[in-house]
Amino acid sequence: MTDSSRRGARRVAMVLLYQHDVTARSLPELYADYERDARSPVPPYARETVEAVLQETDRLDRLIGEHAHEWSVDRISPIERAALRIAVLELTERPDVPAAVAIDEAVGLAKRYASPEAATFVNGILGAVARELGVGR
């Protein structure tokens, strides 16, 4: 899979996770809506990522919370939370994804869909998680 196709799949995964978080709609509904609106299937990497994040949410949120100084995970905006969860999943479970790529992609998503301040916040948390895990930036 190319970097650009993974980039697009991460964006799709983030949107699906965001929608799941704020609407509590089921994944089959969200997938069907995406496929209808995009007129294409959910990218396999996006589907795999969404399902892995939802299976590992407690563990991912614990790591995020340990590094989000003075912020509880439930206070982080849903869009930032989705980007963080994807990146922490990649940092911990995807040795084929370089740490720098996981972090840069999450920062880019936060900057594009939230704000420059959100991007800085996401970068700080992910940098701290990466240092704790001993994975290179």
The predicted-structure confidence for 30-80, as pLDDT tens digits, reads as follows 999 999 999 999 999 999 999 999 999 999 999 999 999 888 899 999 999
Tell me the angle at which helices 27-38 and 44-55 cross, rounded to the nearest 10 degrees.
160
Superfamily of domain 3-133: NusB-like (1.10.940.10)
3-state SS string for 3-48: HHHHHHHHHHHHHHHHHHHHHCCCHHHHHHHHHHHHCCCCCHHHHH
Give the H/E segment covering residue 85: helix 78-93
pTM of the predicted protein model: 0.93
CB 80 within 8 A of CB 11: no
CA angle 119/125/129 to nearest 5° reads: 140
> Would you list the domain boundaries of the chain?
3-133
Q: Please tell me the distance from the alpha carbon of residue 60 to that of residue 92, in angstroms, as a whole number.
A: 9
Tens digits of residue pLDDT in 98-124: 999 999 999 999 999 998 899 999 999
What backbone phi and psi angles, to 5 degrees, belong to 105? Answer: -65, -45
